[in-house]
Amino acid sequence: MAFDIEMIKKVYATFGERVDAARELVGRPLTLSEKILYAHLWDEKSNKAFTRGVDYVDFAPDRVAMQDATAQMALLQFMQAGRPKVAVPSSVHCDHLITAKLGAEIDLPHAKTESAEVFDFLSSVSNKYGIGFWKPGAGIIHQVILENYAFPGGMMIGTDSHTVNAGGLGMLAIGVGGADACDVMAGLPWELKFPKLIGVKLTGKLNGWTSAKDVILKVAGILTVKGGTGAIVEYFGDGATNLSCTGKGTICNMGAEIGATTSTFGYDDSMERYLRATNRADVADAANAVKAHLTGDAEVYAEPEKYFDQLIEINLDELEPYLNGPFTPDLATPISQMKEVAAANGWPTKVEWGLIGSCTNSSYEDLSRAASVAKQAIDKGLGKKAEFGINPGSEQVRFTADRDGLLDTFTNLDATIFTNACGPCIGMWDRTGAEKQEKNTIVHSFNRNFAKRADGNPNTYAFVTSPEIVAALAIAGDLSFNPLTDTLTNDKGEQVKLDEPTGWELPEKGYAVDDAGYQAPAEDGSNIEVKVSPTSHRLQLLDPFAAWEGTDLKGLKLLIKAKGKCTTDHISMAGPWLKFRGHLDNISNNLLIGAVNFFNDKTDTVKNQLTGEYGPVPATQRTYKADGIGSIVVGDENYGEGSSREHAAMEPRHLGVRAVLVKSFARIHETNLKKQGMLGLTFANKEDYNKIQEDDTIDILGLTEFAPNKPLTLVLHHADGTTEQFDVNHSYNEQQIEWFKAGGALNIIRREAAAKAAKN
């Protein structure tokens, strides 16, 4: 039986009538995305047809998911909300705090010891508040969600940008910050601007070396890292139904890389097969009863240009494998062109590492197809030319793959089997030699490849591709190798060609596992005490942020004017910093240390206006805070893209930054800033970015009349005594303005909980 089956049945019980009501209200056929959105309105009696990209709407998600790095801050906030138990089914997954180095047998026990304090905290707080807890080694959150919790037509939020992976099972699963998760766990509505819709029509069928990964790699090349911002991507067509469920998950997963709110597919036979294979026949039966409502209306898919804001068409019959990168996941190169493109750009073509895994590509199907390539290398006398590492997606996948001999195939090729965890994908990789910062190339089946992302080396050129192509390039050791056309020299001096990969959508003998790693919460957690040591370096109870003082903000110092790409990795790095995700003050020592300073093209070196000296960003900001001086951060386009980590918003808030002014924001980061009581502003005229000078003192005027759709005024006081002023925009609605005034959304939750408790 599935987890939360009664909740799922409850969703389906009214799904049809809510969809029918929405269709009548909107006055036209509905896309799948619209059906799920309208079926999850907080106000079930709402009679408004919402405008895409304009209206802020309150929703009622079915569940919440958190991974260990982000769960710490989310649950530290929830502990202040005044509730005895979470209001919706929720889960915590320990997958981020495990460093990949020597292999699972050594790395996992080391992580359990090193992060015991954090794991114990998450286990106890989950036990107390009714949250399902998945232990270290149980698997990567998004694979575990797909195997256990995802269901067609559902809505889920998760404190990780790749929560969207569950779209592979027909959900609207959306990445958020911990404050949003806290709201939903506290029984409050979740707010989202009603998304625009991008349709992707898939025709044909994958063949040969091409995989589901190549669909999203191509889409990323078309839409770029911000082309999906504010939109849901909905896939449909005969090509979509020809994909496996886990393949659909891969495509949805990397939708985070185009900035999409989420991505999804309509319920079909592949999803039913996957549900039944993962012991959720009850969910499949329930979904079948409302199947007509779990996909877009036929009229929509017949004339999609009428119903989507943008339409893309891809013929899977003609699609070829892609390699995306380096340094950005949207730089898409077909494998047939890589040799010429790499030469033209001076990219190093010797492949040092091939890595398979992450939440994007670590299913049984992924491992089986990559193993078929590895087996050929062994059988044909090829061996491998690059180091090779594997991260299975879950203990269930690992156990089943081990039973079926897939892991033996990898180890026979001298691959390292890492823990069922994120590992190198999120920077938790203790790579030998990375500290030398030598120029080198790696290929992986992950989702992101920003500079320093995997190993901390800014000179590692990382390329994103499918597991089978990773295997082929690890065997060849050459980025320019094309397995579709090229041959390799084996140990007998013969020229041999790799055959097309083969694999299994689902294990022929079914899935198996001895211990999946799940801990159910206590029925009554009222007597469970959650302890946080006041001297801990890993965990720190939160103090409320101060409310707005009721005046305009004047005399702000420019902390940094960030140049170019500034992701949440640049604002709050992962890797070794993950250990401080539960300690706001300690992790704030990584604030913006990866951002490039516009004025000197250096990282972590900014001018302290009080001393005239240059120093690290966090230390400089702490000086301003100590003197009671507020500051402002200025950024470029798509500021805050990438991971959902709210630390990138909480750290500047904690250290006294009052506003972030940029050309444009990534969705999740902008929301996180608002939730924490920060001002997230955009240039009305993007050219005004060039007016910001290094020694500026800045005023923000108009806050005493702060209102939706009303610009604020920025005044620059230059060091030479001159001033300039211009309008800056914001996207705050009335509720979000109240968050700002209160000093953060959590302050309002806490205040309301206290009032309710006093009344009772």
Q: What amino acid positions are annotated as catalytic residues? A: 95-96, 160, 448, 643, 645
Q: Tell me how far apart the alpha carbons of residues 128 and 122 are, in angstroms, rounded to a whole number.
A: 10
Contacts 24+ apart (CB under 8 A), 15-19: 15/39, 15/153, 15/290, 15/293, 16/290, 16/292, 16/293, 18/44, 19/293
Q: Tell me how far apart the alpha carbons of residues 327 and 301 are, in angstroms, rounded to a whole number.
A: 36
* For helices 116-129 and 104-114, angle between their N-to-C axes, nearest 10 degrees: 70
Helices (H) and strands (E) in the chain, counts: 25, 30
Residue type, 374: A
Q: Which residues contact 46 (CB under 8 A, 6 or more apart)?
A: none
Residue type, 258: I
Q: Tell me how far apart the alpha carbons of residues 228 and 674 are, in angstroms, rounded to a whole number.
A: 21
Contact 19, 38 (CB under 8 A): yes
DSSP string, 618-654: HHHHHHHHHTT--EEEE--TTBT-S---THHHHHHHH
- The full 3-state SS of 2-18, as one line of letters, equals CCCHHHHHHHHHHHHHH
Residue 426 DSSP symbol: G
Contact 64, 157 (CB under 8 A): yes
- Beta-carbon neighbour count of residue 495 at 10 Å? 9
Q: Tell me how far apart the alpha carbons of residues 419 and 111 are, in angstroms, rounded to a whole number.
A: 10
* Vertex 279 angle, CA 269 and 360, to 5°: 65
Contact 72, 122 (CB under 8 A): yes
Contact 682, 670 (CB under 8 A): no
Q: Tell me how far apart the alpha carbons of residues 696 and 691 are, in angstroms, rounded to a whole number.
A: 10
Measure the N-to-C terminal CA separation of the chain; round to a whole number of Å. 38
Side-chain-side CA neighbours of residue 11 (13 Å): 31
